[in-house]
Structure 1
Amino acid sequence: MAQNLARRMRPRNIDEIVGQKHLVGKGKIIRRMVETQLLSSMILYGPPGIGKTSIASAIAGTMNVAFRTFNATTDTKKRLQEIASEAEFSGQLVLLLDEIHRLDKPKQDFLLPLLENGQIILIGATTENPYFSVVPAIRSRVQIFELKPLEPEDLEFAVNLSLQDKERGFDFDVTIDDDALYFLIHSTNGDLRSTFNALELAVLSSEEHHVTLDDMENSLQRKAATFDKDGDAHYDLLSALQKSIRGSDVNASLHYAARLIEGGDLQSLARRLTVMAYEDIGLANPDAALHTVSALSAAEKLGFPEARIPLANIIIDLALSPKSNAAYLAMDEAIADLGKYGNLAVPPHLQDGHYAGAKDLGRSVEYQYAHNFPNHWVNQQYLPDKIKNADYFRPDDMGRYEKALHSRKEWIDEQKKRS
């Protein structure tokens, strides 16, 4: 077992790929290309360790064609020329071009004709968004697919497979405690390579190949502070973080965030912060949601430990932002009325009138186009009759944007009273 576990467990065909079902699942685009033997060049992009190399090698294995790798940063143009010669001799070759966004112009110029004549099927791999980082000349000749971080269930499947496969996994019996497994699959941020590396280190350094939580903590070099067997402590911390941000306690927010960061579960933290930006800050500071999405995108690209830096920025921003749950409550009230009254009939003047015979049915006949009136407003009924006086949105006036919305709403309400 000279190769490490991640390399040994690399999928040999498309059926062995872990995750990425939106691309390799039944009826999906990459699987269809492979099954019809009509493979075209592509770029795969996404975070490290989620299957870019695996998909490339699995495609080559399934189609039974030559497979070579090339790194845009470290490999020379001479190496690319050697691969081109091999492709000419073999008829077709799949080339995994790692870090394709770093490919220099001489290598680009050499590669483009090979893509045109189909001798080389290029599978570019990058952690950068190729729409921004890859030159248009290459981008226009390939299809671009985004890979997603693997879910904990995907990682658990892969771990169990490696424990069962005596040929490629471990050629001896391994046992792993439930809390150690839970910690492993929730602390590697959907990165299968990191999961395999941590598992292998824990197995080889454990007594009698029995992996405990302590073994896994040592392997990952972080404490399982946020994880227990049932996940209760983990969710308690997420709850405490949200309530601290909601309560504008920046110090408590940073404390609980630090504990979650030490646990390494970026996915859960990202989901909760995104919810908070809309649920707890909402219209009092709409820019906070934009900042959150941007910061979390940066955190996912960076990975830990650097991910803590954009996370710190957005946690402080959210904690100290003005708070409003008016939009969240308004939607819940609207949904509650839907449950109470069901699907009420849309008023006839709002119904679609763009088809022949619509006017004969009274569809859209009396509709008044708001832009034709002063202040782009006209008093007409929009809600169904049974709830025509419903008033869901009650602004908190906690920020300038929400105050502006409130002012507009007050003006409209006043106009309705006068009409």
Structure 2
Amino acid sequence: MKPLAYRMRPTKIEEILGQDHLVGEGKIIQRMVKAKHLSSMILYGPPGIGKTSIATAIAGSTSIAFRKLNAVIHNKKDMEAVAAEAKMSGQVILILDEVHRLDKGKQDFLLPYLENGMITMIGATTANPYHAINPAIRSRTQIFELHPLQVDEIKIAIKRALDDEYRGLGSYHITIDEKALEHFSTGCGGDVRSALNAVELAVLSTKADQHGYIQISLETAEECLQKKSFMYDKDGDAHYDVISAFQKSIRGSDVHAALHYLARLIEGGDLESLARRLLVIAYEDIGLANPQAGGRTLQAIQTAERIGFPEARIPLANAVIELSLSPKSNSAILAIDHALADVRSGKIGDVPNHLKDAHYKGAHELGRGLEYKYPHDYHNGWVDQQYLPDPLKNKVYYQPKQTGKFELALKQIYEKLMKKK
């Protein structure tokens, strides 16, 4: 028998839970179905929220024949068969799972059929289409983002499954504790597939009492839903969102939010991305306001990599707390980006002659290095001379901030030098 989550997939648009922004009264997909005019679309969102099921329900709400393919498993010949059917009937809906995995050959084959409308494609993917899908395919589709189901919506899905005698578990006499229902609904992390499969396991593994009733307790629910189904895909859209929120929380000095997103990254087991991002933050956002933080962050990462999870969470938390509560300065990244912008726009100029290499025969005759002033020959190791090329000789890239004792000291040195010029 197929899993409960598979059997309970919606077969028409009215059965879809959540996604009111798309299938609610008067919303775009519902209007398409009512008008009997579907256009090609891509549905994207985290795993377990029913992208393929929703695609099937949308297609099933029309009178048009539909076929299901997977961009990884099925080959070009399978798509040719769909195209042949489209030529015979005039139109076919193609539900294409993992649409972001389409190779160039399959894309090139599909494009003309999408263009002339003979194939209406409903693609499903966990990857952000703007990052992962070929622009040629993307330009011929509408892109709709699906959201994780809320707890109350997952409860509805569970109750439907418990009551449905044909596709669900309605033929059993089941009583479920309210706390057990709450645990299934909250502990699945928005993944309705995980919740339904855990409910099915609970029912099938629980012995009926003397009256033929199956009692599902909180303890049973906890055993069957062993661990929260944490929706985290380090190659998917959620990864970039969590990493972005992580850095912005540290930059904003919100230590509690930073620790929350750290926990999500730890739970996802993505130490590599986490380590890289922490080092970036240490130098991009804290920077010269607390330069020692960079070295301590690196030490924390090296310790985490050596000891591994679960203990790795401890040095990582130390680093995150310090970075969150450190003074912030982005003066270094602003300075180098300003300099790069000049170089990339052609504002370069010739290196002044007195700075050019003079360690070769004939340099003297070319005027190389003749007027160079060696700073160590002067008081306090400093002498005023031009270092920037002539077109940029008065350019200012670094503008120190007054956050943190270290950069404040740099600012004082900087201003003292500027006064000497």
Q: Distance in 1 between matches of 2:405 and 2:100?
A: 42
Q: CA deviation at 1:95?
A: 1.0
Equivalent AA in structure 1 for residue 53 of structure 2 = S
Q: CA deviation at 1:50?
A: 0.6
Q: CA deviation at 1:398?
A: 7.1
Q: 2:219 aligns with which of 209, 214, 221?
A: 214
Q: Which residues in structure 2 correspond to 1:242-257 (within 5 Å)? A: none
8 Å CA contact retained: 2:258, 2:320: no
Residue 128 of structure 1 corresponds to 127
Instruction: Give CA-to-partner distance per residue, 1:350-378, whole Å, 9 cap, x none.
Output: xxxxxxxxxxxxxxxxxxxxxxxxxxxxx
Residue 13 of structure 1 corresponds to 12
Q: CA deviation at 1:324?
A: 8.4
8 Å CA contact retained: 2:59, 2:66: yes
| Residue 202 of structure 1 pairs with residue 202 of structure 2 | yes
Residue 44 of structure 1 corresponds to 43
Tell me, what secondary structure is at the counterpart of 2:123? strand
Instruction: Give CA-to-partner distance per residue, 1:3-39, whole Å, 9 cap, x none.
Output: 2211211111111001111111111111111111221
Tell me, what secondary structure is at the counterpart of 2:325? coil
Q: CA deviation at 1:90?
A: 2.5
8 Å CA contact retained: 1:69, 1:96: yes
Gaps of 5+ in 1: 223-262, 326-395, 405-419
Q: Which residues in structure 2 correspond to 1:321-360 (within 5 Å)? A: 321-323=323-325
Q: Distance in 2 between matches of 1:87 and 1:30?
A: 22
Gaps of 5+ in 2: 209-213, 233-238, 275-312, 328-401, 410-421
Q: Which residues in structure 2 correspond to 1:268-417 (within 5 Å)? A: 283-284=252-253, 299=265, 306=269, 312=313, 315-323=317-325
Residue 236 of structure 1 corresponds to none
Q: CA deviation at 1:93?
A: 1.6
Q: CA deviation at 1:309?
A: 8.0
Q: 1:155 to 1:137 in 2, by over 3 A?
A: same
Tell me, what secondary structure is at the counterpart of 1:50? coil
| Residue 174 of structure 1 pairs with residue 174 of structure 2 | yes
| Residue 109 of structure 1 pairs with residue 108 of structure 2 | yes
Q: CA deviation at 1:134?
A: 0.6
Q: CA deviation at 1:128?
A: 0.8
Give me the CA root mean square deviation: 4.1
Instruction: Give CA-to-partner distance per residue, 1:33-76, whole Å, 9 cap, x none.
Output: 11112211011111111121111111111112212111111111
- Percent identical across equivalent pairs? 46
Q: CA deviation at 1:220?
A: 2.1
Q: CA deviation at 1:218?
A: 2.4
8 Å CA contact retained: 1:186, 1:265: no
Q: 1:105 to 1:399 in 2, by over 3 A?
A: farther
8 Å CA contact retained: 2:258, 2:324: no
Q: CA deviation at 1:114?
A: 0.9
Q: TM-score w.r.t. structure 1 length?
A: 0.59
8 Å CA contact retained: 2:230, 2:268: no
Instruction: Give CA-to-partner distance per residue, 1:193-236, whole Å, 9 cap, x none.
Output: 111111111111112132222222222224xxxxxxxxxxxxxx
Q: CA deviation at 1:86?
A: 1.6
Tell me, what secondary structure is at the counterpart of 2:196? helix
Tell me, what secondary structure is at the counterpart of 1:149? coil
Equivalent AA in structure 2 for residue 143 of structure 1 = Q
Q: Distance in 1 between matches of 2:173 and 2:244?
A: 42
Q: CA deviation at 1:290?
A: 9.1
Residue 3 of structure 2 corresponds to 4
Residue 56 of structure 1 corresponds to 55
Q: Distance in 2 between matches of 1:284 and 1:397?
A: 13
Q: CA deviation at 1:317?
A: 4.5
Q: CA deviation at 1:169?
A: 1.0
| Residue 192 of structure 1 pairs with residue 188 of structure 2 | no
Q: 1:11 to 1:266 in 2, by over 3 A?
A: closer
Equivalent AA in structure 1 for residue 152 of structure 2 = E
Q: Distance in 2 between matches of 1:180 and 1:39?
A: 40
Q: Distance in 2 between matches of 1:84 and 1:130?
A: 24
Equivalent AA in structure 2 for residue 213 of structure 1 = L
8 Å CA contact retained: 2:52, 2:124: yes
Q: Distance in 1 between matches of 2:404 and 2:177?
A: 49
8 Å CA contact retained: 2:40, 2:122: yes
Q: Distance in 2 between matches of 1:43 and 1:111?
A: 14
Equivalent AA in structure 2 for residue 192 of structure 1 = V
8 Å CA contact retained: 1:323, 1:398: no
Q: CA deviation at 1:186?
A: 1.1
8 Å CA contact retained: 2:113, 2:119: yes
Q: CA deviation at 1:277?
A: 8.2
Q: TM-score w.r.t. structure 2 length?
A: 0.59
Q: Distance in 2 between matches of 1:143 and 1:119?
A: 16
Tell me, what secondary structure is at the counterpart of 1:63? coil
- Report the count of equivalent residues: 288
Q: 1:116 to 1:274 in 2, by over 3 A?
A: closer
Q: 1:168 to 1:307 in 2, by over 3 A?
A: farther
